[in-house]
Amino acid sequence: MAQPMMCPGCKSDIPEGVQYCSSCFLTPVPKPAADPTEPAAEVEPPAGVPTPAVAAGPSGCGDPDCVHAGVPPEPGCRHCGLRGRATAGTALRFEWGPVPVPPGRPLVVGREQSPIADRIDPARYGNVSRRHAEISSDGTSLTVTDLGSMNGTFLNDERLPAGRATPLKTGDRVRFAARLEATVTGGPE
């Protein structure tokens, strides 16, 4: 049984074998699965229809002109309706509130040369190093790297080796030295 197709523009159902939407003149794309967490099934083009030169992305978008190169963003593509995969946690929640970690812009945690240095009270968190740890995001994963701190960085109470990026997930507790703690928020459990 062929996968149902739809117009990426007007979202109308396209009958099997029809190559273009009669109102938008766009090439049909596979209709998204009912459950956005399920990957879309592989689509075989009808007999006589050429296979597009652009392969479908990991999300299953088969539109060769996809503005997202076949990989829709997490909230979803307004053209094909497909949703992207959830990303790793995107922020750390400290006692004073959340601190975002944007992709490609590492967050240094420490008493100096850190965007949160003014919130780290030396009287309370004096054992946090000047440049204690770095939290990085590539848009799909979040990692913590201890920068050779004297008193260590801990993930769920396990000390991390210095210099090695360790993956994080939502709900993980990261402790910097003895008392400064943060919880990873904003992604899958």
**Per-residue pLDDT, 2:** 73
Closest alpha carbon to 148 in 162, 128, 160: 162
Domain end point (choices 63, 85, 107)? 85
> What domain range is 136 assigned to?
91-185
- In terms of pLDDT, which residue wins out, 102 or 54? 102
Task: Clarify whether residues 41 and 108 are in a common domain.
Answer: no
Task: Clarify whether residues 21 and 98 are in a common domain.
Answer: no
**Per-residue pLDDT, 189:** 40
Could you tell me the CATH number of the domain that includes residue 139? 2.60.200.20
Mean pLDDT, range 105-114, rounded to an integer? 90
Mean pLDDT, range 120-140, rounded to an integer? 88
Q: How many whole angstroms separate alpha carbon 174 and alpha carbon 159?
A: 10
The whole-model pTM stands at: 0.53
Q: How many whole angstroms separate alpha carbon 22 and alpha carbon 144?
A: 51
Residue-wise pLDDT tens digits, 28-39:
888 876 544 444
Task: Clarify whether residues 79 and 95 are in a common domain.
Answer: no
